[in-house]
Amino acid sequence: MNAQETLAQIAQEVAVCKNCALHHSRNKSVPGEGPANAEIMLIGEGPGFYENEQGRPFVGAAGKFLDELLAGAGLKRSDVWIGNVVKCRPPGNRDPLPEELAACDVYLERQIAAINPKIIITLGRFSMSKFMPGARISAVHGQMRRVGPRFVIAMFHPAAALHQASLKPAILQDFAQLPKLLEQARAALGQVSAPVQEQAKVQEEPKQLTLF
């Protein structure tokens, strides 16, 4: 199965999934969407009212703001993959419970493995905690960190920035940095996936070698 087929398969599974209590209150599950070869994955919290109606991520007010933020990075929605840590709407938009996050994580893990993005952008604390346990968003937002085979950037949740005006400049600035960070990620990961080039590069830098 190629990445696109795997993502379609996962979407079919979450449409009928009953692995946690959130299935009781959902109208439509929201598997996430975007190109299967996206370099950037954005991972939010969970569907809200409109997402639950339409089965698509970030279609409400936060989604509109997310489109503006992406535009600030020179990106269109169709350039990135967008999803959530839980695929079904928590009733009344309450926080997802630990057992719901755990139950739904298998789908997200499979989506990440299929897409294999260079950068994961976490939107909000539940998504951040998956990759940076214990981190404080106010301290780490906008910083790119290596996590296993890729990079993770924690950002404020667009809905939080909509409701808390003081966060807006920070999230705008963090998105504006994205083209630069993507270049850095491409350069760093290019070396990992092309060991021959990496060797050549080391040989080109004798200054580093003389340090040993």
Nearest to 155 by CA among 179, 121, 126, 181: 121
For residue 132, what are the CA distances in angstroms to 114, 151, 152, 179?
21, 11, 9, 22
Among 7, 17, 40, 46, binds ligand URA (CB under 6 A): 46
Among 17, 38, 40, 144, binds ligand SF4 (CB under 6 A): 17
Tell me the window of 21-29, 50-58, 165-173, 182-190 that interacts with ligand URA (CB under 6 A): 50-58
Rounded to whole angstroms, how far apart are CA atoms 89 and 51?
8
Question: Would you say how long the chain is, in residues?
Answer: 212
Number of separate helices (H) and strands (E) present in the chain = 11, 5
Those residues whose C-beta lies under 8 Å from the C-beta of residue 77, and which sit 6 or more positions away, are: 34, 66, 67, 70
For residue 190, what are the CA distances in angstroms to 111, 170, 179, 180?
21, 29, 16, 15
Query: Does 11 interact with ligand SF4 (rule: CB under 6 A)?
Result: no
Q: CB atoms < 10 A from the CB of 39, how many?
A: 18
Among 31, 34, 47, 55, binds ligand URA (CB under 6 A): 47
Query: Does 85 interact with ligand SF4 (rule: CB under 6 A)?
Result: no
Query: Does 45 interact with ligand SF4 (rule: CB under 6 A)?
Result: no
Query: Does 29 interact with ligand SF4 (rule: CB under 6 A)?
Result: yes
Binding pattern for the stretch 86-125 against ligand SF4, x by CB under 6 A and - elsewhere: xxx-----------x--xx---------------------
Query: Does 84 interact with ligand SF4 (rule: CB under 6 A)?
Result: no
Out of ligand SF4, ligand URA, none, which partner does residue 159 contact, by CB within 5 to 8 A per kind? ligand URA
Rounded to whole angstroms, how far apart are CA atoms 109 and 130?
11
Nearest approach, Cβ of residue 195 and ligand URA (Å): 38
Tell me the window of 20-28, 57-65, 73-81, 153-161 that interacts with ligand SF4 (CB under 6 A): 20-28
Residues of this chain, 124-163, that bind ligand URA according to CB under 6 A: 159
* Site of interaction with ligand SF4 (CB under 6 A): 14, 17-20, 22-23, 29, 86-88, 100, 103-104
